[in-house]
Each structure stands twice: as C-alpha cells, then as structure tokens.
Structure 1
Amino acid sequence: MANYTAADIKALREATGAGMMDVKKALDEADGDSVKATEILRIKGQKGVTKREGRTTSNGLVTAATDGGVGTLVEVLCETDFVAKAPRFIELADKVLAQAVKVGATDADSLLASTLEDGQTVQELLDEANATIGEKIEVKRLARIEGPTVVSYLHKTSPDLPAQIGVLFASEGGDDAVARDVAMHVAAFSPTVMTREEIDADVVENERRVAEATAREEGKPEAALPKIIEGRVNGYFKENVLLEQAFAKDPKKSVAKVLDEHGAAAKQFVRFRVGA
C-alpha cells in the first residue's frame, strides 16, 4: 500500500486542483511521492486536453483591474462550480488578469498569444491547468476601456462562489463615488447600450411594430395608437439604455440626471456575466 496520508491527498488537491480520485490514483502510482504524483497528473491530464475541447464551460469567474484611466475585465471559464471556487483556479485567473494588464491586451486572442515571464504563452498556461485540474478552462472574453475616470465593480451572485458579474465604467468629471454607484447600477440592471442612438434602427422598428400589433390586439382606439406606440418604444429604451434607466439608488431620477447633478458624464461601460 502506498505511503501517504489524507493530509497528503488534501495538499496535492489544493496544489493541482485535480479531483480526489485522480489524486489518489496518482499517489498510488507514485508510491506516495507528491512530486512524482504531480507529474503523473500533468501527463495524464494532457492526454485529455483535446478530448475536453468540445465540453461546455458555463461556470467560472470574472475579475478586473483598474490603473488610472485604464480598466481591464477578464472572464475565465471552467466546467463546474466546484472548480470555479477552488483556490488553484482563482490564482490562475489572477495570473491571467495580471498578464492582460501587463501587455495591454484588448481581446482574448491577443492575451492568449502573449508570453509570460517563464516563456510559456497564456494558452499554454491554461492547457497545463486543464491537464492538472481535469476540466476545460478558457478565457472567454476580455475588455479594456480608457477614460479620465475608470472604476470596476465585481458582484457575487452566490456567497460561496467568486464574482460572477463584472463591470467597468468610464466617466469624466464627478468623483469615484458616483462612478462606482453607476457601475453597481450596471451590474444590477444590465443595460445593453449607453445611448438610444447605439441601438440598431431595425431593432427599434421591430419594437415599434410589436407595440402597434399589441395595442391593436388589446383593442386600443385608433386615435390613441401613435401615443401608445411611442410610449412603449420609449419603455424599451428605458429598459436597455443606461442613461435612460431609472437609477438604482434613486428610481425617480435617470442615470443621466444623477451623473449631471454630480458634474459627471458617462463615456463607456462594459458588463460581463459568467456564461452569458
């Protein structure tokens, strides 16, 4: 019988992120030698990397960093929530974010192709983690924005998981407090655009057609249709356009109104939700 303890199993699991049965098998094969067991896990794990390429990654985390007028937001995905909350995975995501900031990456592809200090690329780092942890791991999205003021906000949808929603918000004027309030609003109300002008004209026209058809189905008077249609289209804007949404902390005011009262102007935002 291999010479190892429950503490050895725990230590190797924490170091590699691998499953318990895989760790026990590796320790058995290595006769309790944790260094050899780690190598066994890597070798066997690498054989399964290709097989895992088609798997679905619907769990993971978002992480962000801001430095002066630059913000970086990264989404790192895995297959299960068990791995998502493991220290090994969280440390990996932190390393990926640090590299994104260092090289000024603007998208996932450029980040994955960048080279770390040890000579391996970020993609190779993920493949190695894929091998030891035993799950498909990928950088799904990356965003980088700039502005006079850039703040980030990370939100946990479950207390035992890392952040699942991440926001970057760039503004000019005002202060960090109002900028952070707006970032928190974006996390909660998930606007899709900053202004109504950014919404495709075909989308607006379709909303108008739906509003008219619905009003007619409800038997609304013909004379009232234009006003009803316009009201419902404006309602669509208020649901999707950041500056027209009712502000989370004061629903009687729009986000635009709150920013204006603080002498601030919105410049850009981005919002990621894990798996969305």
Structure 2
Amino acid sequence: MSISAAMVKELRETTGAGMMDCKTALKENDGNMEAAIDWLRTKGLAKAAKKAGRVAAEGLVGVASSGATAAVVEVNSETDFVARNEGFQKLVSDIAATAVESDGTVEGLAAAGYPGSDKSVADTLTDAVATIGENMTLRRVTKLSVSEGVVASYIHNAASAGLGKIGVLVALESAGDAAKLEAIGRQVAMHVAATNPLAATTDEMDPAVVAREREVFSEQARESGKPDNIIEKMVEGRIRKFYEEVVLLKQTFVIDGENTVEQALKNAEGDVGAPIALKGFIRLALGEGIEKVEEDFAAEVAAATGQA
C-alpha cells in the first residue's frame, strides 16, 4: 500500500513520534492508522494513549439545573464572533434551561417549546440563523439526575454564567447537606474538566479499550525477554497505572494533589453529614470530534488574484 505524506503527518501529530518512525509504522501495518499507533507505542516511540480530537466548531456549551436534575447542551456556530453575541448567548442559555425538562435527546429538545414563545427550539434556531446570519446547529444534549442529592456543574472558559467551552456535570447521591454537597461536587466537576476521564469506575471502562491497552503492554513486556509469570505481573501493574490515569475515582484529585477522587469524596462525608455516592459524570467540550478543515489563506488569496 502507498503511504501518503498526509498519512505520515496525521500519525506524527497524533503520536509525537518522528517522521521516519511514523512512515515505518504505517508500512508495517499496511496503512492502518490505529495499528500504526499501537506499533509505535509498543516500540516505545509514542506516548499517546488516545488521539486528541481536532476541534474546529465554534459556539457554546451551556449548563442548567433544576433540583436534582441538570443538563448540558452544545450549540455550534460558524465563528467565535457569534459565540460572543449576547443574542446567541441568551439562545444557548434558554435551550439549556429547556433541556432540563426535555427527554434528554437532541430530537426531543429540538421539538420542545422555546421559553416565552409559541415556537419550538428548532424553529427558534432557524429564525436566529436568519437574524444573525450564520448557520447554527443543536449538536448534543445530555441530562443527569439523582433521586437524592445534587448534580453539580462547572463551566470552563466561561463566556458568561453557565456558558463556555467545556461543560461538566457530576451527579452525587447523598442525604447530606445540599450546599456542602454542591461544593464538593463542583470541585469534582473542575477535576473532570481538567483530566477528561474515560469512565467513572473501572467496571464502566470500555472492555475494548482495556483489551487494546493490555495487548500493547503485553507486547512491550515480551520484548523485555522476561519469563511469562513476570510479564503477567508487569502487565497487571501497567493496567493498574492506566486505570489511575483514566478512571475518575482512581485519579489523583487535582484540587489537593494527594488523595484519589474516591478518597476525597469519602473525606467529605463527615462535613456533608452522610455517605456520598458518585452516580455519574458528563463532560462536553466544544467541537470535540468535529474535524477541522484547514485552509491555506495565502493560497486562497493567490488564487483569487490570479497569481496561483
């Protein structure tokens, strides 16, 4: 298979490995990008455990809550300029508030009535496109609820109250003091914004992701030439370390830098006055997973002036 320069460039940006190593990895794996990443990691030439999504979409993430239920939405626009528009910000805030009472799906939220209007959210968005002059889309919505306790929220890179680039919800179930529970919940939400965990607990980890890591670790250990029983222990040790990096309750709490998140919640129970159970979390980052179209502005200008 022919390995293009674009493929080598993508692999290099994803893994941080050298250009020739990336080319070799692609050749060894018939151009398969995921296999090439694993090959580089097995050889110790790449550090990345997962690819960072290339973000291009603009707009805002908004959060809203009502009692023990909260919602987070993502509304995209074409430019960051629109995200600073007060009209657009009010639109996203109103959509987030509507999402708290919706069924938690994009379709259900789009069909829901827009606050103070006889129109739906979808129709209101269509009207806003005509008024503001940019395409806008309601991309995602997620809700979290607890039977007793709080769903705390946090907005990173806030544009205004409840609006920003990253929105996090953390559901804590407890019969304890709601205000104190909200405080520790917000700290955990800040932690989630910073660390972007893959799952709340080890049991919730995607088995395919764990299997892939285990295979990479096994290949690395086998290259050491050690006996199988030692290799098995090495792999299990690496898996435990992997969990500490990507599982929320196993991560070191960024707020104190000492305890795990699990222990920090346990420590907070005395202050809250009751046991605390983490029931889930949501983290939405603006534009994640939307591939950016890179434009060569100089070439565009040259083409427009007939100099290309």
For residue 202 of structure 1, the aligned residue among 200, 208, 219 is: 208
Question: Alpha-carbon deviation of 1:157?
Answer: 7.4
Alignment partners' CA distance in 2, 1:123 and 1:207: 42
Tell me the amino acid that sits aligned with residue 87 of structure 2. R
User: 5+ residue gaps in structure 1?
Assistant: 1-55
Which residue in the other structure is 1:138 paired with? 137
Structure 1 counterpart of 2:284: 272
Q: Report if aligned partners of 2:217, 2:238 keep a CA contact under 8 Å in 1.
A: yes
* TM-score for the superposition, normalised by structure 2: 0.66
- For residue 164 of structure 2, what is the aligned residue in structure 1? 163
Q: Say if 1:57 and 1:77, in contact at 8 Å, map to a contact too.
A: no
Q: Does 1:77 align with 2:83?
A: no
Instruction: Report the Cα distance in structure 1 between the residues aligned to 2:99 and 2:155, rounded to whole angstroms.
Output: 17
Asked whether the equivalents of residues 143 and 270 of structure 1 are also in contact (C-alpha less than 8 Å), the reply is yes
Q: Does 1:230 align with 2:233?
A: no
- Over the matched positions of the two proteins, sequence identity in percent amounts to 37
Pairwise CA distance, 1:220: 5.2
Determine the structure 2 residue equivalent to 1:108. Answer: 106
Specify the alignment match of 1:186 in structure 2.
Answer: 192
SS of the equivalent of 1:135 reads: coil
Q: Distance in 2 between matches of 1:57 and 1:257?
A: 37
CA contact (8 A) 2:71 2:143 kept: yes
* Cα RMSD, aligned residues only: 2.1
Count of matched residue positions in the alignment of Structure 1 and Structure 2 = 217
Give the Cα separation in 2 of the matches to 1:158 and 1:106. 24
- CA separation in 1, counterparts of 2:124 and 2:236? 53
Q: Larger C-alpha radius of gyration, 1 or 2?
A: 1
TM-score (normalised: structure 1): 0.73
How big is the shift at 1:252? 2.3
Q: 1:220 to 1:166 in 2, by over 3 A?
A: farther
Residue equivalent to 1:152: 153
Three-state SS of the structure 1 residue aligned to 2:257 is: strand
1:67 equivalenced with 2:70 (yes/no): no
**2 CA distance for matches of 1:164 and 1:118?**
27
2:293 alignment counterpart: none
Distance 1:220 1:259, change over 3 A: farther
Partners in 2 of 1:57 and 1:208 — Cα distance? 32
CA gap of 1:225–1:72, structure 2 versus 1, over 3 A, is same
Q: Post-superposition, which runs of at least 4 consecutive aligned residues in structure 1 deviate over 4 A?
A: none
User: Does the 8 Å contact 2:84/2:159 carry over to 1?
Assistant: no
Distance 1:153 1:233 in 2: 30
Alignment partners' CA distance in 2, 1:113 and 1:187: 30
8 Å Cα contact 1:57/1:79 also seen in 2: no
Instruction: Give unpaired runs (5+ residues) of structure 2.
Output: 1-54, 270-275, 289-308
- Aligned residue identity for 1:145: L
Residue of structure 2 in register with 1:5 after alignment: none
Q: Aligned AA for 1:201?
A: P
Equivalent-residue separation in structure 2 for 1:85 and 1:191 (angstroms) = 29
